[in-house]
Chains A and B, each alone.
Chain A
């Protein structure tokens, strides 16, 4: 087994590990937080200021 074969196997392993971690973390976060909270998007001066005025 030469250098490039080793690199190929390493690439498969690292790719699998990274993709597994991303999926695992996504599931963990979705269990940890509410879906409405994760999908909420409060951006921009007008939206946030309106929200603050509404609360106040």
Chain B
């Protein structure tokens, strides 16, 4: 219930201090940070490689990474000064004012509404594709799209702890799938070749090495958005992985 329960008063040296009630554990924060990077892996990086090639994608990722690092730094600095569990909305409310807070909240709602719709559509299409591959052509994706939205809405309705606990499980599965993929594709063997087809594998190796570093930065940022962020994290696990091998074939 939104009755200020996210804050607790504590005594410290005779002075009353307020601090955020710690609902999440380290695993939830890990899942948030790593999950955000894996979202890029499953839903963004592969498409960008398809559009701009490996090098173009790498340059774009590098540039966006710099910008995102700035966001993470700003968020982490501002969040530490604002004892409120409202993410960027609360930051703007306390630092600039109610009008800016309204604008930020409106943009966040629009952004996550569109994102959730896109993720749900992707999940529906993926399930239709899997059905077609297993011999059931023309499966209607609508029930699965609706189910995705309903589950995400229900998870967020249940609260941030429930949402991020599920998020942890899904992130762990996605993480393991990438580790399995890494060893299954044997990039250390293919990296010896200089062909265009195999350069992609080298890029993937670099991405895997860089992922944990990115996640640490993303984790700081996402931590401040706990109340609004989770809806992103569940649906996009349905994102398919398009391997370099199949893309080239």
Residue pair B143, A41 in contact (C-beta under 8 Å): no
Give the chain A neighbours of B149 by CB distance below 8 A.
15
* Complex interface residues of chain A between 27 and 46 (CB less than 8 A to chain B): 33, 37-38, 40-46
Residue pair A22, B154 in contact (C-beta under 8 Å): yes
Contact of B143 among A15, A19, A33 (CB under 8 A): A15
Q: From residue B234, how far is it (CB to closest CB) to chain A in Å?
A: 13
Q: From residue B236, how far is it (CB to closest CB) to chain A in Å?
A: 18
Give the chain B neighbours of A21 by CB distance below 8 A.
154
- Across the two chains, which residue of chain A brings its CB closest to B4? A42
Residue pair B144, A11 in contact (C-beta under 8 Å): yes
- Across the two chains, which residue of chain A brings its CB closest to B18? A45
Q: Which range holds the interface residue count of chain B?
A: 20 to 34
A52 to B8, CA, bound (A): 12
Q: Secondary structure of the B side of the interface?
A: mixed
Residue pair A44, B82 in contact (C-beta under 8 Å): yes
**B140, CB-defined interface residue at 8 Å:** yes
- Across the two chains, which residue of chain A brings its CB closest to B153? A22
Give the chain B neighbours of A14 by CB distance below 8 A.
147, 150-151
Residue pair A49, B143 in contact (C-beta under 8 Å): no
**B2, CB-defined interface residue at 8 Å:** yes
Q: From residue A11, how far is it (CB to closest CB) to chain B in Å?
A: 4
Give the chain A neighbours of B93 by CB distance below 8 A.
44
A4 to B140, CA, bound (A): 10
Give the chain A neighbours of B1 by CB distance below 8 A.
33
Chain B residues in the interface with A (C-beta under 8 A): 1-4, 6-7, 9, 16, 18, 82-86, 90, 93-94, 131, 134, 136, 139-140, 143-144, 146-147, 149-151, 153-154, 157
List 18 A-B pairs, Cβ < 8 Å. Answer: A2-B136, A4-B139, A9-B143, A11-B144, A11-B147, A15-B143, A18-B153, A22-B153, A37-B3, A42-B4, A43-B84, A43-B90, A44-B82, A44-B90, A44-B93, A45-B7, A45-B18, A48-B9
Chain A residues in the interface with B (C-beta under 8 A): 2-4, 7-9, 11-12, 14-15, 18-19, 21-22, 25, 33, 37-38, 40-46, 48-49, 52
